[in-house]
Structure 1
Amino acid sequence: MPYPYTLPTTSAFSFSSSLACDSHPSLPLNASTRRGVVRDTLKAHKRLSPSAQSPHLWTVASGLQAYLPYLFAIDAGLGHRAVRGDEINVILQTAPALEWRPTLSTGGAPPIPGKDPPRVKVHSLEYEVFFALSALACAHTLQARVALHPLYLTTTAPVGTQQRQTAIAAATKSLLDAASIFDYLATRAESLVATPPCPDISPAAMRAQSALALAEATLLAVLKDDPYPAVVAQDRNANDTEWMYKAPTIPKVRAHLFARLCLAASEHAAQAHSLCAGRSAAGGKINDSFVKYLDDLRRTSRARACRFFGIDSELGGQTGTAIAWLWAGLHELGVERKEETSKKSGRGGFGRLKKEWTEKREDKKVERELNWGADAGRMEEVRVIEMLEAKWTKQNDTMGTQAVPPTGPLLAQMPSGREIHSLKPFQPPLLDAAVLEAMRAPPDRADDGGGVGAGGYASSDEETLAEVSGASARGEFNQNRTGTPNYY
């Protein structure tokens, strides 16, 4: 499933403190105001409960999309480029002093369990573009998770076919938008000479996140017509009344096509893993949990490809080869077959209880929206493969009795992947000509960096008290302008 990103937070900043714009004097003030809204929105999002964060994602994305045209206008002014044919003259007076909290790395500091990594200091507006755009791409990925969430709930009635198709289409669009943004940032980062302040905005991390989003979008193209995950989910759903359903069937040609799409997703995930595993930058290295997710996604994609090759063989009457493909899929996932586990330990019952407990725990995470799908769909694929293995083994033992070939030669003859999506180049948002013309007027007030917004956040490290007291989403503790504690 789409990676469960954590959105970053940032400090207050006044553009007027570092630059001036002779052609459009109100541009720095308007950019500071929009950035202040983004800052308050990100901080408010962090303090919400997981269930409340889902609908709030659209507010976060809207705030970032409203801020980015002003940021790109300033960027164009610094680079002596016109916006919609209008020349913008921006003069950098002093180096900016911004702070962003990384979410994929520790920012160079040793990780402390239960505590957020420290913010990294940014002294270039170039990296302000990187952090703002990457936050928007992460928000798009999280929106894809929200769209797919109803498909994995086992406490409500299963979604209909039309609702399922709509959810997958919306999630695919969000993931492709995220992939385009990360691809744009990776290309832009590769042209820079300076070392990034943290690995989150390094060229390797941006390229890896683009490949990750593309891999997840490719798997959604398979999920749209893959009936087996829904059948396995219905089997665990107490609210499912459609107990009499037609056995799922997949045309032979599509099964082979789905397998090649899964291999393409595996190749993208492998590329992302190679870019992040063992790499370190001046500000530290990518978190192990993200690297592990990339490896799990690679394994899950290959295992899913093996499953579809097995379906293709079973439809052709080669039940023994189909079972071998399923065994190959379990091998890719690093899961031993039940017979092998029982022979080694002699106590298969304990392993079965542990497996059932893990599955119930994951179902609870889905219900409560608590970091569900962090295994990249590995557990779901294991369930599907074990269901098909039990069915086909029983069928082979009673009817066909075909020999099961070794899995090594099967894995060696796997074809290459096949792409289904192509990334559209990301186009930086531009301000309307009327807005640009209006900003030729002098500013009507002082630029205080957006001020203290609706959340009442004034300092750069105001999260600390809320983190220590555990007040997130239950009544936050903040400091107002006078320094007096406010409880609300």
Structure 2
Amino acid sequence: MPYPFVLPTTSSFSFSSSFTCESHPSLPLNASTHRGVVRDTLKKHKRLPPASQAPSLSTVISSLQSYLPSLFAIDAGLSHKAIHSEEVSVILKSTPQIEWRPTLSHNLITGREPPRTKISSLEYELFFALTTLAAAYTLQSRTALQPLYLTTSAPVGTTQRQTAIASATRSLLDAASIYDFLSSRAAEISDLPPPPCADISASTVRALRSLAMAEATLLAVLKDDPYPAIVAAERNPNDKEWMYKAPDIPKVRAHLFARLCLAAAEQAAQAHALAASGKLSGGFIRYLDDLRRTSRARACRFFGIDAELGEQTGTALAWLLAGLQELGVERKAEQKSKGGLKGLKKEWTERREDKKIERGLDWGADAGKLEETRVIEMLEAKWSKQNDTIMTQAIPPIGPLLAQMPSGREIHSIKPYQPPQLEPDVLEAMRAPPDRSDDSGDYPSSDEETAVEPPVGAFPGTHGDYRTGTPNYY
């Protein structure tokens, strides 16, 4: 959590080959220049090892933010709309031919890339650019949250934790704002052909909006939820605080947090229903279902915490069992009764997830199911011991508890996305004719090397029989 998106790549494209601007002749060249930077940054980001991609996200975001004002200006010019009270007139000379390599609508097979998608509309170029920016925001939120889950270094302090969660939340809400803008824009499109791939379809954009809101809602709970940090500290050999101080477990607003988790579950369920109707990758659809299960399990845990605070330990344990049922996980006692194989498999899965977090790979691809399972098992062990020795209360059945769950409660609202515009002085300067030719379309594809050197030791004239180039990482 959040979802580990793979950013798409794109081909080169010269706006001057398809568009001309009578009022601002340099506008197509300006758009081609900024788009070439976007293409180059996406190509370089893709070729980095996954563990090294996080630092380049700021460059990707900056290049997209610089490109979008020119793209929106051409879009406005096609409709003869004014920008800063200055009329822009863009004329379509020929149908644009642009290629993007989608990453959500195809199952990624090891050693094989998804096919490129050809688009012939500026509208879908805008959709690809904006969804790429939103995905980069989501990846930036993952980068901010990664230190909270590391077990190979000292745990972060309370202030750093709050700052990281606040930064990640802002990034997710920025992504949700973009998806909401695209969703509204898609509803207004009537004269365009169907989208060339499911990545930019209306249903996918709405699913991504619901996903971003669900993840931002869960972060609002994580900010004041002490239990994940306690569980992570217990696995961290660098944590020495337990030697002189017991962990602080402040009283949480358990019932409120449970309703927030239920709201996240409803948003994840909506995203899953929208994504399942399209041709999206199975891994993405499974993530949405896992997020729904994790959110409901977390709500059960907070209902259990609320019951335990009211000295109803039996009911609290029933809520924890309901949480494990939502996750599809058996109790530890049941695992031991069936043999140690499942327990060994679970330990191996946990160690593998810890290594993914340490290396910055696709950690959290289970939407937090493993983390929530650890928290629930810790509380179950603690409360079971307490109930067996002090309280001795009966554990009620799970069904009636799940049936009386309240509705979810929203906490975030989506801020309207404001399309960026060119600065007035920049737009005025584009009235001058271009100072050079627009040759952006002459560059090789985003997935080709600009120069291919023969491999060392190859017999002259046979380098085409060798596999060269930089490997592609996902």
Q: TM-score range by the shorter chain?
A: over 0.9
Whether 2:401 is the aligned partner of 1:415: answer: no
Q: What secondary structure does 1:4 align onto?
A: coil
The letter of the residue matching 2:223 is K
Question: What CA deviation, in whole Å up to 9, does each residue of 1:244-265 have, x standing for no partner?
Answer: 443443436x111110100010
Is contact 1:182-1:206 (8 Å) kept?
yes
Partner of 2:457: none
Whether the 8 Å CA contact 1:48–1:472 is kept in 2: the answer is: no
The letter of the residue matching 1:459 is S
Amino acid at match of 1:260: R
Amino acid at match of 1:274: A
> Matches of 1:471 and 1:235 in 2, distance apart?
41
- Residue deviations 1:74-123, cap 9 Å, x none? 000011211111100000010000000101012xxx86443120110000
- The reply to whether residue 310 of structure 1 matches residue 295 of structure 2 is no
Counterpart code for 1:138: A
- The 3 A distance-change label for structure 1 pair 55 and 111 is closer
Please name the residue that 1:197 is paired with. Answer: 196
CA contact (8 A) 2:207 2:271 kept: yes
Instruction: Tell me how far apart the structure 2 counterparts of residues 314 and 112 of structure 1 sit (CA, whole Å).
Output: 47
CA contact (8 A) 2:9 2:446 kept: no
Which residues in structure 2 correspond to 1:33-432 (within 5 Å)?
33-106=33-106, 112-193=109-190, 194-243=193-242, 244-251=244-251, 254-277=253-276, 279-280=277-278, 285-343=279-337, 345=338, 347=339, 349-432=340-423
Unaligned runs of 5+ in 1: 453-457, 475-488
**SS state at 2:24 partner:** coil
Cα distance in structure 1, aligned partners of 2:80 and 2:374: 57
Change (3 A) 1:157 1:197: same
Give 1:219 deviation, angstroms.
Answer: 0.4
| TM superposition score normalised by structure 1 | 0.91
Distance 1:115 1:473 in 2: 9
Q: Which amino acid aligns with 1:187?
A: S
The RMSD of aligned alpha carbons is 1.9
Aligned with 2:91: secondary structure? Answer: strand
Structure 1 counterpart SS, 2:218: helix
- Report the CA distance between 1:129 and its aligned residue: 0.3
Displacement of 1:50: 1.9
Q: CA deviation at 1:188?
A: 1.0
**Does structure 2 retain, via aligned residues, the 8 Å contact 1:228–1:248?**
no
Distance (Å, rounded) in 1 between the aligned partners of 2:447 and 2:239: 48
Q: CA deviation at 1:235?
A: 0.6
Instruction: Tell me, in whole angstroms, the C-alpha distance in 1 between the residues paired with 2:259 and 2:250.
Output: 15
User: What amino acid is the match of 1:2?
Assistant: P
Kept after mapping to 1: 8 A contact 2:144/2:164:
yes
Flag the 1:255–1:21 CA change in 2: closer, same or farther, 3 A: same
Which 10-residue stretch deviates more, 242-251 or 208-217? 242-251
> Deviation at 1:190?
2.2
Question: Any idea what SS the aligned residue of 2:83 has?
Answer: coil
CA 1:450–1:429 in 2, change beyond 3 Å: closer, same or farther?
Answer: farther
SS at match of 2:160: helix
Which amino acid in 1 is paired with 2:427?
A: L
CA contact (8 A) 2:138 2:175 kept: yes
Distance (Å, rounded) in 2 between the aligned partners of 1:170 and 1:394: 39
Tell me the distance in 2 between the aligned counterparts of 1:158 and 1:430.
Answer: 43
Question: Does structure 2 retain, via aligned residues, the 8 Å contact 1:36–1:450?
Answer: no
Report the number of matched residues.
457
Partner of 1:481: none
Query: Within 2, Cα distance between the matches of 1:246 and 1:460?
Result: 54
For 2:321 and 2:368, the matched residues in 1 are separated by: 18
CA contact (8 A) 2:259 2:409 kept: yes
Q: Secondary structure at the match of 1:104?
A: coil
Do the aligned partners of residues 163 and 289 (structure 1) sit closer, same or farther apart at CA in structure 2, a change above 3 Å counting?
same
Q: Deviations over 1:156-175 (max 9, x none)?
A: 00000000000000000000
2:448 equivalent in structure 1: 462
Residue 337 of structure 1, CA deviation: 1.2
CA change 1:385–1:97 in 2 (3 A) is same
Q: CA deviation at 1:449?
A: 1.6
Tell me how far apart the structure 2 counterparts of residues 468 and 26 of structure 1 sit (CA, whole Å): 41
For residues 256-282 of structure 1, the C-alpha deviation after alignment (integer angstroms, 9 at most, x for no partner) is: 1110100010010000000011x23xx
Q: Report if aligned partners of 2:301, 2:376 keep a CA contact under 8 Å in 1.
A: yes
Q: Once the 2 structures are TM-superposed, how far is the Cα of residue 462 of structure 1 from its aligned partner? A: 1.3
Quick check: 178-187 or 20-29, which moved more?
A: 178-187
Equivalents in 1 of 2:187, 2:308: separation in Å? 47
Give the AA of the match of 1:401: T
Residue identity in the other structure for 1:388? L
SS in structure 2 of the partner of residue 96 of structure 1: coil
1:272–1:122 distance in 2 versus 1, CA, 3 Å: same
SS of equivalent to 1:210: helix
- Paired amino acid for 1:227: P
Deviations 1:444-472 (A, max 9, x none): 000012765xxxxx235417999965834
Specify whether residues 387 and 394 from structure 1 end up closer, same or farther in structure 2 by C-alpha distance, changes over 3 A only.
same
Q: Which amino acid aligns with 2:133?
A: L
Which one of the candidate residues 427, 437, 447 is aligned to 2:438? 447
Deviation at 1:353, TM superposition (A): 1.5
Shift of residue 6, structure 1, vs aligned partner: 0.3
Q: Per the alignment, in what secondary structure is the counterpart of residue 28 of structure 1?
A: helix
Equivalence for 1:484: none
Match of residue 4 from structure 1? 4
What TM-score do the two structures reach when normalised by structure 2? 0.93
| CA distance 1:299–1:158, change in 2 (3 Å) | same
In 1, Cα distance between equivalents of 2:109 and 2:379: 43
Aligned to 1:91, the other structure's residue is in SS state: strand
Secondary structure of residue in 1 paired with 2:371: helix
> Alpha-carbon deviation of 1:338?
2.0
Q: Contact 2:77/2:90 (CA < 8 Å) preserved in 1?
A: yes
Deviation sequence 1:170-189 (CA, Å, 0-9, x none)? 00000000001011111111
- Cα offsets for 1:407-451 (capped at 9, x unmatched): 100000000011110000101000010000000000000001276
